[in-house]
Amino acid sequence: FETNIAEIQAEALTVMENKEEIKARPADYSGLDVETLEPGTLNVNVQDQVSQFGVGTIEIPSIGLKLPVLEGITQANISIGVGTAKPNQAIGKGNFALLGHYMTNSGLLLGGLKQVSKGDEIHLTYFDKQATYRVVESKVIHQSEGKYMLDDPEEPHYLTLLTCDGSRVG
């Protein structure tokens, strides 16, 4: 199962195509189909998914993370990378939020996020914009607080990455 996810991650980073077509395509931000990632549930055509919703990449060099960024929060999107949490996000405006699956293997999806340290760099490419962020805080919150982590402040502009803090059913 972990080998399949690693292969899917690698493949997803090589597929990105015409981002202008993606901007015009409606994306799902509801997260209603997101469930625990199990070996039998991983049924994603990586090339189709990334060509339809791939809009960039995220890289955290300190933990060896490099993933595609896909528009919207669907099980398919976050099974191969991270999904944008809200429509019409822009680098440098408010809270740019991304969600992804946690994996017990720190080299898969957002499994290594627990190992980031204050000051680590995060490189984000989104459509034609690039930015480098620095980690200022890493914390565990209750799932009921997740929606508040997506709020848009006037200042400062920042990046929020959300994942589960462990692998457990429910």
pLDDT tens digits for 124-169? 999 889 999 999 988 877 667 666 677 666 677 889 888 877 655 5
Sorted by sequence, the CB contacts under 8 Å of residue 4 that are 6+ apart come out as 39, 42
Q: Name the catalytic one among 123, 142, 157, 164.
A: 164
Q: Is 164 in the active site?
A: yes
What is residue 107's predicted lDDT score, i.e. its pLDDT?
81
Q: Is 142 in the active site?
A: no
**Longest CA–CA separation in the chain, Å:** 43
51, with CB counted inside 10 A (0-12, 13-18, 19+), is middle
Q: Name the catalytic one among 101, 123, 142, 157.
A: 101
Whole-model pTM over 0.85: no
